[in-house]
Structure 1
Amino acid sequence: MSRRRTIAIVTPYYPPKIGGVEQYTARLAAAVAADPGLRAVVITTRLDRGLRTRVTTEAGIRVIRLGAWLKLSNTPLSPLWPLQLRRWLRRTDADVVNAHAPVPGLGDLAVAVSGRRPTVLTYHAGSMHKGEPDSGAADRLIGLYEKVLLPRVFNRAHRLVAVSPVSLAEGRPHAMRITPGVDTDRFTPGESASRRARTIVYVGRMDRSSAWKGVDVLIRAFARLADDIPGARLRLIGDGDALPDLRNLADELGVRDRLETPGALSGTALTDAVRTAAVLSLPSLTEAESFGMALIEAMACATPVVGSAVGGIPHVIADGETGLLVPPGDPDALAAACTKLLTDGGLADSMGAAGRREAEERYAWPHLTARYLELFRTL
Structure 2
Amino acid sequence: MRIALVSEHASPLAVLGGADAGGQNVHVAALASALADRGHDVEVYTRSDDATLPERVPFGPGVDVVHVPAGPPEPVAKDDLLPYMPAFGRWLGTRWSSAVPDVVHAHFWMSGLACDHARRLTAFPFAQTFHALGVVKRRHQGDRDTSPPGRLEIEATLTRTADAVIATATDEVRELLELGAPAESLHVVPCGVELFGGGAADDRWWRTGPGGRILSLGRLVERKGVDTVIAALAEVPGAELVVAGGPVVAFDNDPEVRRLRAEADRLGVADRVRFIGPVARGDVAGLMLSADVVACTPWYEPFGIVPLEAMACARPVVGAAVGGLLDTVVDGVTGLLVPPRDPGRLAAALRDLLSDPGRRERLGRAGAARVRRNYTWPRVAAATEEIYRRIGASVITGRVS
Map 1:92-103; keep pairs closer than 5 Å. Answer: 93-101=100-108
Residue of structure 2 in register with 1:24 after alignment: 27
Map 1:90-239; keep pairs closer than 5 Å. Answer: 90=97, 93-101=100-108, 104-114=109-119, 115-126=122-133, 127-129=136-138, 131-132=140-141, 134-135=143-144, 138=146, 145-146=151-152, 148-167=153-172, 168-169=175-176, 172-183=183-194, 186-188=196-198, 198-207=212-221, 211-225=222-236, 228=237, 230=238, 232-239=239-246
Map 1:1-379; keep pairs closer than 5 Å. Answer: 5-12=1-8, 13-15=10-12, 16-18=14-16, 19-36=22-39, 38-46=40-48, 48=49, 54-60=55-61, 61-66=63-68, 67-69=70-72, 71=76, 74=79, 76-77=81-82, 78=84, 80-90=87-97, 93-101=100-108, 104-114=109-119, 115-126=122-133, 127-129=136-138, 131-132=140-141, 134-135=143-144, 138=146, 145-146=151-152, 148-167=153-172, 168-169=175-176, 172-183=183-194, 186-188=196-198, 198-207=212-221, 211-225=222-236, 228=237, 230=238, 232-240=239-247, 241=254, 242-286=256-300, 289-378=301-390, 379=392
Q: CA deviation at 1:164?
A: 0.4
Unaligned regions of 5+ residues in structure 1, if any?
none
Q: How many residues align?
A: 353
Partner SS for 2:26:
helix
Whole-angstrom distance in 2 between the partners of 1:74 and 1:340: 40
User: Does structure 2 conserve the Cα–Cα contact (< 8 Å) formed by 1:218 and 1:331?
Assistant: yes
| Residue 74 to residue 199, structure 1, CA distance change in 2 (3 Å) | farther
RMSD, aligned CA = 2.7
| Residue 214 to residue 155, structure 1, CA distance change in 2 (3 Å) | same
Cα shift readout 1:158-205 (whole Å, capped 9, x = no counterpart): 111111012244773211111011125x434868xxxx9821111111
Partner SS for 2:140:
coil
What TM-score, normalized to structure 2? 0.80
| Residue 135 to residue 88, structure 1, CA distance change in 2 (3 Å) | same
Unaligned regions of 5+ residues in structure 2, if any?
17-21, 202-209, 248-253, 393-401
The amino acid that maps onto 1:250 is A
Which runs of at least 4 in structure 1 moved beyond 6 Å after TM superposition?
none
User: Does structure 2 conserve the Cα–Cα contact (< 8 Å) formed by 1:188 and 1:275?
Assistant: no
| Residue 134 to residue 119, structure 1, CA distance change in 2 (3 Å) | closer
| Residue 84 to residue 236, structure 1, CA distance change in 2 (3 Å) | same
User: Does structure 2 conserve the Cα–Cα contact (< 8 Å) formed by 1:189 and 1:301?
Assistant: no
| Residue 318 to residue 206, structure 1, CA distance change in 2 (3 Å) | same
User: Does structure 2 conserve the Cα–Cα contact (< 8 Å) formed by 1:308 and 1:328?
Assistant: yes
Greater fraction of residues in strand: 1
Cα shift readout 1:233-279 (whole Å, capped 9, x = no counterpart): 11111114422222222223222232222222233311101122101
Q: CA deviation at 1:82?
A: 2.7
Partner SS for 2:138:
coil
Whole-angstrom distance in 1 between the partners of 2:263 and 2:216: 16
Partner SS for 2:382:
helix
Of the structure 1 ranges 243-252 and 316-325, higher mean CA displacement relative to structure 2 is found in 243-252
Q: CA deviation at 1:133?
A: 6.3
What TM-score, normalized to structure 1? 0.84
Whole-angstrom distance in 1 between the partners of 2:97 and 2:211: 54
